[in-house]
Structures are given as C-alpha cells and as structure tokens.
Amino acid sequence: MKHWQPPPGTAGLIFDCDGTLADTMPIHYRAWVKILAAHGIPFPEDRFYSLGGMPTSKIIQLLSGELGVVVHDLDAVVHAKESAYVEFMNEVTIIEQVAAIARDNRGKLPQAVASGGYRAVIQQTLKQVGIADWFDAFVCAEDTEKHKPEPDVFLEAARRLKVDPVKCVVFEDTDLGMEAARRAGMFGVDVRMEFGVGPKLLLVGPSQVGFGERSKD
C-alpha cells in the first residue's frame, strides 16, 4: 500500500465520503436505478459516476429536465432514493487506502468530511465503517447553496477547521470534486489514480492538483 505524506505546508485534510472514505458508489447506483425506474428515467452507470458529488435533488432535477419528465414531489423522490440506499447500507465497506491517511493524521492535523450527500446519510455511512468520530467538521449538501464543482463545500470545511483554504489537501474520487478543489485553491488528490480506487474508465487528468491561488472561474 502506498504510504501518503502531507505536502509541506499542509494545515488541514478534507475528505469526500462516498467513493473516497467508504465504498458506497455501487450501492448508491443500485438505489438510483430502483427509484428512477418508477419514473421512467434511465440512468446509465457512466453518467452516474460523472455526476458524483452532486446532491440527489439536483441530479433528479437534471435528469428529469433533460427528458421532460415531471416530478411532482421532488422531496419525496429524494427521500425514496436515500431510503433505498440506507436499505443496502450494511454492505458498505471502508476504503482502507484512504482511511489509513485519516487514521495516520488523526490528532496531528484537523480533518473534515465535505460531501454532496445529506448529513444524516453521510453520518450513518461513516458510523457503518467505524470512523464517524475521526473528523473535526462535516459539511454536507444542506450547508452550502452551491455544490461541486463549485468550491463552496471545501471553503466552508476550511472555515470550520479554522485553517487557510490554500493549505488544505482534498481527497476526492470524482471529476466534479477535483474541479471544486482546484477552484478552492487546494491541493487535490484523486484517489482513483493515486490509490486505484473506483472505476478505472473514469481516470482522467493528473492525480493531483497543487496548492495555488484560488480560481477566479
């Protein structure tokens, strides 16, 4: 297993949850297929992975809008999808390559989880894999108006950790998440390439983006 060390100057670590700390993405996909089928909305697996990091409500709005499908009760569909995932949660396992970094740096550097998922579900997921008490802050879908690829979730995590955003390292498994890290001016580590986590067909671009000035995009 590759032993990862924080770059010089690192003041905080920020982890995505789904597909980064916990192996949840295949289970989320099963839940999506189950719920969207009832509405006649197809969701190809590659499209699912390309939208990783986007909150459930926004994915439903995006897909239904593209197909012209009217979703009369968005909150009900969101609840159904999240409930379907929770039904399968006992199958969730830890992603040891990434969790080892959080374990090694616990008590040495402040750590946060920053996710497009909903707080209750994220905390249940982290409890399932036994690491819910490893982190000093949580930023979830409810906490910011804008979501990945916008940098807000990571900037809010840095604020809650009381560290300079440009001195944070982000661990991510999605293109949207890596772009959010770049826009936040943070050092981003793509766990797909760095540790071989997740579907290999989606490995695009460098495995890391370095510390730098916050993007003006």
All structural domains of the chain with their residue ranges: 12-24+92-209, 25-90
| Peptide bond between residue 149 and the one before it cis (omega within 30 degrees of 0) | yes
Count other Cβ atoms within 10 Å, centred on residue 77.
21
- Integer Cα distance of 32 and 48 in angstroms: 9
**Chain centre distance of CA 8:** 25
Catalytic residue among 16, 18, 23, 190: 16
Give the per-residue pLDDT at 209: 58
Give backbone dihedrals phi and psi of 159, rounded to 5 degrees, phi first. Answer: -60, -45
φ/ψ bin of 130: left (φ > 0), alpha (ψ from -120 to 50), beta (otherwise): left
- Integer Cα distance of 98 and 24 in angstroms: 14
Give the per-residue pLDDT at 200: 44
- Integer Cα distance of 174 and 191 in angstroms: 9
Mean pLDDT by runs of 10 across the 217 residues of the chain is 83 97 96 94 94 93 94 95 95 96 97 96 97 98 96 98 97 95 96 79 45 48
Homologous superfamily of 12-24+92-209: HAD superfamily/HAD-like (3.40.50.1000)
Burial class (CB in 10 A: 0-12, 13-18, 19+), 81: buried
State yes or no: is 16 an active-site residue: yes
Q: What is the residue-wise DSSP string for 60-72?
A: HHHHHHHHT---S
Give the per-residue pLDDT at 215: 47
**Chain centre distance of CA 85:** 15
Structure tokens at 181: 């890290």
Give the per-residue pLDDT at 196: 84
Who contacts 198 (Cβ-Cβ below 8 Å, separation ≥6)? 19, 25, 49, 173, 191, 192
Give the per-residue pLDDT at 208: 58
Contact assessment for residue 138 and residue 159, using Cβ atoms and an 8 Å cutoff: no
Give the per-residue pLDDT at 201: 37
Give the per-residue pLDDT at 148: 95
Domain boundaries 25-90, corresponding CATH code? 1.10.150.240
Structure tokens at 145: 């108006």
DSSP designation for 205 = S
Give the per-residue pLDDT at 182: 96
